[in-house]
Amino acid sequence: MRITVIVPTTAGPRLVVGIIARPRLPASLVITADDYRPLDDITERYDAFVGPAGPLRRGLDLDDGSYELRLDAPIDGGRSWELPVALAHAARQAGAEIVTSAPDLVVWATGALDPDLAIRPDDYHLADKLDLSGPLLGRLQKAGARTLLLLPADPAPAALPQAGDGVAVATFAAALALLRTAMASPQRPALAATTPDDAALPAPVAAPLAGSGPRAIARSPVLVIFGALVLAALVGLLIWRLRPAPPVVVADPPPIAAPSQPAGGNAGIGVVIPDTPAAPAAPPQTDAMAAEASGATIPAGLFLQTKRDMTGDTCVAFLMRDMPTIDDEFAAGEMPAPLPSAGLCAIGFASPATRQHSPCGSIRRFSTG
């Protein structure tokens, strides 16, 4: 790739004519293309910049030895040449050809670098440099060259009307990345017979691909069918995910049939009833308790007390779930005969002093457990 590197100054743009390795020279130097005498103002700083201890030697891993930097015109002083010269070294190291005419890519940059290759904040007279470089940039762009305009990030160059196509960078590493990207991108063909108005128009960002558009898609039925299948699958998946959940149906348990006896002995088949837990039987002692109480004589001054389960059947609810009971109390001559045994849980005698505190519990207690 052919690359032109512009070093802008307040006296006008300077071009890098070439960089030549000089391994036998004791120090690097800067000269103009028409003179062999070093430029005293920047030669010493350039030698320190690319020397064994210089930041550019470390940043680019340059070969050992000295270099000769050639410019088309001298630079009187300053340090803003450091960034464009560093990019010229990087382009040369990448195999590009440094030229001053008919380039594929034009690099315009300005900025002084610190020991860590960061761009030092400064004014750099950007407005003057852009104005002075405008005619040269216009001629190179009109000839078909692409332009990489790199501006220091501090101060922000956005307010400069001439910097509309520029990119603000803060370090040499950022500028180097942009340079490598520009070198790897396709070259733009030269513009033929362009007018000034045409040259002012911005180039399109990307040309449309060949064969693209509705006609190209219509000529590919396989792509159309594949796209329709994918779309149908996505719609089906969406419908499936949004469908309401089916109601939960709980089946009614089958009715329990009444038992039937087969006719004629073993002939026929009887209905089998599933085993169901039977209700607890009445306590075997209940009848004896009732009989004993019915035939007993209540002594004078005592009371016969009974506890009955509220269900009127067994004492399971009273004993197992601590359910309330029906309490009865009989004095002498008041007890029914016979005493009912259904639901009877406890029998006891109580004196007038204890009848309110422990009915059916102070003398005798029966349980079914």
Per-residue model confidence (pLDDT) at position 222? 61
Q: For the residues 317-332, what does the mean pLDDT come to?
A: 66
**CA distances (Å), origin 168, targets 74, 106, 119, 157, 241:** 27, 16, 11, 7, 50
CA gap 240, 157 in Å, rounded: 56
Contact by Cβ (8 Å): 126, 110: yes
pLDDT tens figures, 193-237: 333 333 333 333 222 323 333 333 344 566 667 777 877 787 777
For residue 137, pLDDT beyond 50: yes
Distance CA 338, CA 216 (A): 109
Q: Is 209 within 8 Å of 200 (Cβ atoms)? A: no
Left, alpha or beta for 48 (phi > 0: left; psi -120 to 50: alpha)? alpha
**With 70 as the cut, is the pLDDT of residue 136 above it?**
yes
Dump pLDDT digits (tens) for 279-316. Answer: 444 444 555 555 555 555 666 667 777 777 766 656 66
Two structure tokens written together for 317: 């609810």
Q: Which residues are CB-contacts of 48 (< 8 A; sequence separation ≥ 6)? A: 54
User: Cα(66)–Cα(52) distance, rounded to whole angstroms?
Assistant: 9
Of 248 and 199, which is predicted with more confidence?
248
pTM of the predicted model, to two decimals? 0.52
* Helices 82-93, 40-50: crossing angle, 10 deg rounding: 50
pLDDT higher at 349 or 323: 349
Closest residue by Cα to residue 107 from 132, 125, 89, 127: 89
DSSP secondary structure code for residue 193 in this structure? S
Asked if 15 and 100 count as a contact pair (C-beta separation under 8 A), the reply is yes
The CB density around residue 162, as the number of other CB atoms within 10 Å, is: 17
State mean pLDDT over 83-103: 96
Cis amide bond preceding 155, omega within 30: yes
Average pLDDT of the chain, as a whole number: 74
| 66, β-bridge pairs | 22
> Residue 302's CB: how many other CB atoms inside 10 A?
17
